[in-house]
Amino acid sequence: MKLAFSTLGVPGLPMAEVIRLAAEHGYQGVELRAHPEEPVHPGLPKAERAAVADEFKRGGVEILTVAGYVRVAAEGDDQPVLDELAGLIELARDLGASNVRVFPGGGDQEHDAADATAARRLAAAAPYAADLGVRILLETHDSHRAGVDVARVVGTVGHGSIGALWDVMHTWLAGEEPVASHAVLAPHLGYVQVKDIASAEDTTPVALGAGVLPLRACLDTLDADSWVCWEYEKRWHPGAAELPGMLAAGREHLLRLGAPKG
């Protein structure tokens, strides 16, 4: 198992500090939140992108994903969505990241309409992503929080540059068992986002193992070389404990859960 953490847990932290935390605590990768309030975002000039990529390479830490906020099933014209998605793909290419994360964002539309919009836009973006060596991952989230929902869209596209990102909180909140989530997502799976929360009613982030999410059952479904990323949502819960002090214990907990059984 290869481990990463999301910079959503350390909002605004300079990249040098992100790299230091990953290297010191045994995380091989980082999921970079790509937003204008963060150090790395689609508006970053080319020279600065190259400097960030070089900094991560020298630090021995992989940029696993550029985590964007494109909502591919949202109502409205396609072109603004495709333009925003192209910007994220180019940012990922420039940083040497393997993936771009996108959300469904289908709102209250009927499933068929939201699915069709998302599939059409992802299919349109897929050749460009392939040319740039980047994979677009649709996260189990919002309007498509179950694995079966995301698999339905990604399967419709049927392109190798379009995959799935399994956020275990959302599939659990959707009432989907981990084995069922994995079964439908496995043909498309990029990697898994883990976290832990206080309860279904209180999604405040807590230390891994201190909450209610079925992390062992999720990790039991994965291959030994799978990427697992800890998404600690400190940005949305400023009163939550600080992530850096929990990184070592979180890594050990994930490695224990993911160790071969028997």
CA distance 192 to 169: 11
Mean pLDDT of 178-193: 98
231 contacts 7 by C-beta, under 8 angstroms: no
Task: Please say if the pLDDT value at position 160 is more than 60.
Answer: yes
Q: What is the pLDDT of residue 258?
A: 86
CA distance 195 to 184: 21
11 contacts 38 by C-beta, under 8 angstroms: yes
Mean pLDDT of the chain: 97
List, for residues 67-118, the tens digit of each pLDDT value. 999 999 999 999 999 999 999 999 999 999 999 999 999 998 999 999 999 9
Helix axis angle, 247-258 to 15-25, nearest 10°: 50
List, for residues 35-62, the tens digit of each pLDDT value. 999 999 999 999 999 999 999 999 999 9
3-state SS class at 58: helix
Residue 197: DSSP 8-state? B
Domains of the chain are 2-258 (3.20.20.150)
Nearest CA-CA partner of 52 in 92, 80, 112: 92
Which pLDDT band, with edges at 50, 70 and 90, does 230 fall under? very high
CA distance 4 to 63: 9
Q: What is the pLDDT of residue 260?
A: 64
132 contacts 88 by C-beta, under 8 angstroms: no
Task: Please say if the pLDDT value at position 185 is more than 80.
Answer: yes
pTM score, whole prediction: 0.97
Q: How far is CA 195 from the centre of its chain?
A: 12
List, for residues 73-84, the tens digit of each pLDDT value. 999 999 999 999
Percent of the chain with pLDDT over 70: 99
Mean pLDDT of 3-32: 98
Task: Please say if the pLDDT value at position 262 is more than 50.
Answer: no
CA angle in degrees (0–180, nearest 5) for 121-64-91: 55
Q: What is the pLDDT of residue 261?
A: 59
